[in-house]
Structure 1
């Protein structure tokens, strides 16, 4: 810590000694980097830490008319923040240099409950979807499944207080896999249901065979607006959803044999095939596209840019057709594809090696820069990069431009099984990735070790793909992070599931049953 300005006109020696005592006490209270201290007859600037307002993080964000240099104690993330002119930045202490702050909460019951995906609206409200079994408690809201797994959707404010929670489903296993929120705070979810599922007292869907795809839209207050189904006699599933500025919804997942979307039926080339579909804001199908080979092909994640162009990733086997363009896999390979807002095929890229590789998460900037994460085994070629796993599955992160040209790729992991599941980008081009790792994993020059079997990680890479930091969370049992989002204040939210007692930064949460859903907030 440096003292840059000392002004003592007409002081007495006693007064100087007292000031030195105060400064010494301040130094022992907190170690702050790049902080100026000025001592004048009127007092010390900045004030000792005990004089700053002590508020929750959300209360700090709500402070009226802050000025550059204002300081506040953040009770949520247990740190000191200063106002830079456009955001409340976190002062870094010696104990946690270069690491973000994390807080978390859990929801669930005495059986197995999973958070699958997460989204945030323009006002900072958080929406989570997943599945639960039996009876699950969302604060004071109790949800009961109709049999097997039912799906849930829940809304929270930034402080983690529940606003509402809803369930849907039937006597079979039903799950919500993807969620997105429009500019008015209306959430859309997609997933799969078995045979029949009720979404309200008057709205239900029936499958054409076994598992079918659903798309549902709710109001910001949790009332169902509409629900649509699609599929055929096989196993059809919606895995991911993205929205454009007009509230059009774009889905990806997989279909088996024949699947009907509105008045359009598509037929898989063999087993499971990839689908992409567009619906407008009132649930009318606009178009549907199919891609794949005679083997198994699945769309895992989708994203939409500022012009409504659609990007998807997943995996394919054999020789697969994307809009008449053929790509061949040497094992199970990753695909990244782009379609226009009208469903016209633009390009497809493949990545991977001779073993099993998966694209699990995708995000895109408003201008069309594409970022992908997932897992690979053995040696994988991604663009011009050759990545080699340390053993089992490793994590990859890759960037492409809007034309599909390769920019960079990075790997992370260890000798166990590791995977990237979710990815987001901030306005400065920094990339945040979440997923899971086993035992010890290396990210750049940083090694992290799990508390037990499988733990959660969150990592930050800069615009050039250089690791900035990595943080872990977990228990001595197993946990998984499956979804990720970011808000306009650079709060990063993740969801997934955990067992036992888990540590997320300074927060400890405990599951009520074998597995519970968690939501965690990460703030730099």
Structure 2
């Protein structure tokens, strides 16, 4: 595991509770410094480095290449140590010829030995938000923002390479720089009257480069000299965009979407089928698939709040696949998205107050101000599971990824005691805030058990022959996971059953069970639930329901059975009964 960010003063970079390991002392450094900490798959500390100078510096993104080398990018101000050796004598460490905040890229081998570094930027403010490595070529790709007319995007100290010297810019232009090891390959800058930020970069199996970011006003994404193509026209509101280039920088496609307020793309990921997933936040109603309607999942802001989490998927050619919207009545954001070996999609970020983490307006309550969360969906966008955790202060899940065993690893920030494993206490490793400060970094690992949905293998509804109007409902439920089950029944006067539970269903008024215990519920459509105890994969319950059939005269009713196994994975089946 590789962690980068910013620290102030003496800092524990190994997780052992002291400041005695290499790079943990702040002597010779400044206010905020960048760092890199490396741990093995079991969380064991391997090595760390402290980076920066006497001003404010920060690590923003970290990645590894095929040889296990560790590449870190971030920002520095003034002379800065990029090798972790305490001086400013290595490549790119001097600020001569540069300006305010500058981008840096530095490389270490798997054992933490310094390899090389470069400094990029202008005389204004520059940010390299993200770095990735193309798996095919091992090229290093950086995306971010530069300010100023002239910006060194190659690390050679001049502004003579492609896209470095521009005649028109505002306060920020998106840039991409590509290196092969320490050798500059090419760069691209998008100079326009608007502001553009390249916040995340990743590649697919075809070595296409995909950048997620945000932009205001018009942007010539394909650099054909106009802003007439799809996604190029904009307004003062900040929109998010996803831009695809080939491996040499040629334009493939762009998708740009905005709402009534600011919309940002914070993270982009590509699965093994080259489908693209994007998360961040949107404000107001948003037309994700750009068809001028608000009928797709998550497009209509009704029921949500200010800023909301969005999760959006494209195919390799930029065609819309599906979308989801998460959040509550306050400000929420997605920070990171990844996939596992089954192409299930995991998103992390923060939510504030009661919030929908499923994409269906169902609510989960919280702990404090902002809480960290992870939500999991299958590759078609259907909800699989969620986790919410935090302290009484402000917390977030900044980065999420999976290991080779599909364990979910979340990195972020917490304040105060935090119940990471949700066992009701804060006495487990790393949960107590004792000996730490106001805001602390955390790394949490969750094991995912792929739940198998329960199935109703048989289901029948039969009117009794004694003239009472009672209907006997019998169901057989199969659950391979042997979870505790709940079964609910609904009915509707209709000849043909629908594929999903309609809003016009009525509750069954009285139920008695020969198996389990009948529990009365006041839900909108559910009147009774019988909970069975695990112990066998096959559970059979017999139900008797009194339905008022006076004057029925042969009316047909559809009876719906919905089974849930406690892991929010449900199945439904139907049958019909004609009442005489």
TM class by shorter chain equals: 0.5 to 0.7
Pairing partner for 1:218 from 159, 165, 179: 179
Report the counterpart of residue 284 of structure 1 in structure 2. Answer: 250
Map 1:293-372 → 2, pairs under 5 A: 293-324=259-290, 325=296, 326-328=299-301, 329-365=304-340, 367-372=342-347
Contact 1:308/1:341 (CA < 8 Å) preserved in 2? yes
1:189 aligned onto 2:127: no
Q: Larger radius of gyration, structure 1 or 2? A: 2
Report the counterpart of residue 173 of structure 1 in structure 2. Answer: 125
Judged with a 3 Å threshold, the aligned counterparts in structure 2 of structure 1 residues 147 and 77 are, in CA distance, closer, same or farther, namely: closer
Judged with a 3 Å threshold, the aligned counterparts in structure 2 of structure 1 residues 411 and 224 are, in CA distance, closer, same or farther, namely: same
Q: CA separation in 2, counterparts of 1:77 and 1:171? A: 33
Contact 1:270/1:295 (CA < 8 Å) preserved in 2? no
Pairing partner for 2:401 from 414, 424, 428: 424
Q: Which runs of 5+ in 2 are unaligned?
A: 1-36, 84-88, 291-295, 452-580
Contact 1:190/1:216 (CA < 8 Å) preserved in 2? yes
Q: CA separation in 1, counterparts of 2:143 and 2:184? A: 13
Judged with a 3 Å threshold, the aligned counterparts in structure 2 of structure 1 residues 226 and 461 are, in CA distance, closer, same or farther, namely: same
CA deviation after TM superposition for structure 1 residue 123, in Å: 1.5
CA deviation after TM superposition for structure 1 residue 381, in Å: 0.5
Pairing partner for 2:439 from 454, 462, 468: 454
TM-score (norm 2): 0.61
Q: CA separation in 2, counterparts of 1:465 and 1:161? A: 40
Measured against aligned partners, the alpha-carbon deviations of 1:231-258 in whole angstroms (never above 9, x if no partner) come to 5322210110111122211011100111
Counterpart secondary structure, 1:169: strand
Give the number of aligned pairs: 373
1:396 aligned onto 2:373: yes
Judged with a 3 Å threshold, the aligned counterparts in structure 2 of structure 1 residues 284 and 110 are, in CA distance, closer, same or farther, namely: same
Q: CA separation in 1, counterparts of 2:191 and 2:356? A: 34
TM-score (norm 1): 0.68
Measured against aligned partners, the alpha-carbon deviations of 1:212-235 in whole angstroms (never above 9, x if no partner) come to 111111112x12111111253222
Map 1:115-126 → 2, pairs under 5 A: 115-126=59-70
Q: CA separation in 2, counterparts of 1:151 and 1:333? A: 30
CA deviation after TM superposition for structure 1 residue 309, in Å: 1.1
Measured against aligned partners, the alpha-carbon deviations of 1:52-100 in whole angstroms (never above 9, x if no partner) come to xxxxxxxxxxxxxxxxxxxxxxxx999xxxxxxxxx997xxxxxxxx64
RMSD value, Cα? 2.3
Measured against aligned partners, the alpha-carbon deviations of 1:279-313 in whole angstroms (never above 9, x if no partner) come to 11111111111112131100000001122211000
Contact 2:341/2:406 (CA < 8 Å) preserved in 1? no
Contact 1:307/1:366 (CA < 8 Å) preserved in 2? no
Judged with a 3 Å threshold, the aligned counterparts in structure 2 of structure 1 residues 386 and 168 are, in CA distance, closer, same or farther, namely: same
The structure with more strand, counted as a fraction of residues = 1
CA deviation after TM superposition for structure 1 residue 412, in Å: 1.2
Counterpart secondary structure, 2:306: strand
Q: CA separation in 1, counterparts of 2:450 and 2:343? A: 17
Which protein, 1 or 2, shows the higher relative CO under an 8 Å CA cutoff with sep ≥ 6? 1
| Structure 1 stretch displaced more, 149-158 or 320-329 | 320-329
Q: CA separation in 2, counterparts of 1:279 and 1:77? A: 32
Contact 1:306/1:365 (CA < 8 Å) preserved in 2? no
Measured against aligned partners, the alpha-carbon deviations of 1:172-192 in whole angstroms (never above 9, x if no partner) come to 100100111012321101011
Counterpart secondary structure, 1:343: coil
Measured against aligned partners, the alpha-carbon deviations of 1:470-505 in whole angstroms (never above 9, x if no partner) come to xxxxxxxxxxxxxxxxxxxxxxxxxxxxxxxxxxxx
Q: CA separation in 1, counterparts of 2:239 and 2:273? A: 26
Counterpart secondary structure, 2:67: coil
Counterpart secondary structure, 1:287: strand
Judged with a 3 Å threshold, the aligned counterparts in structure 2 of structure 1 residues 307 and 269 are, in CA distance, closer, same or farther, namely: farther
Q: Which runs of 5+ in 1 are unaligned?
A: 1-75, 79-87, 91-98, 467-524
Report the counterpart of residue 251 of structure 1 in structure 2. Answer: 211
1:138 aligned onto 2:82: yes
Judged with a 3 Å threshold, the aligned counterparts in structure 2 of structure 1 residues 231 and 339 are, in CA distance, closer, same or farther, namely: farther
Report the counterpart of residue 363 of structure 2 in structure 1. Answer: 386
The structure with more helix, counted as a fraction of residues = 1
Judged with a 3 Å threshold, the aligned counterparts in structure 2 of structure 1 residues 177 and 77 are, in CA distance, closer, same or farther, namely: closer
Counterpart secondary structure, 2:364: strand
CA deviation after TM superposition for structure 1 residue 411, in Å: 0.9
Contact 2:47/2:112 (CA < 8 Å) preserved in 1? no
CA deviation after TM superposition for structure 1 residue 398, in Å: 1.2
Contact 1:176/1:190 (CA < 8 Å) preserved in 2? yes
Q: CA separation in 2, counterparts of 1:89 and 1:348? A: 33
Map 1:13-28 → 2, pairs under 5 A: none
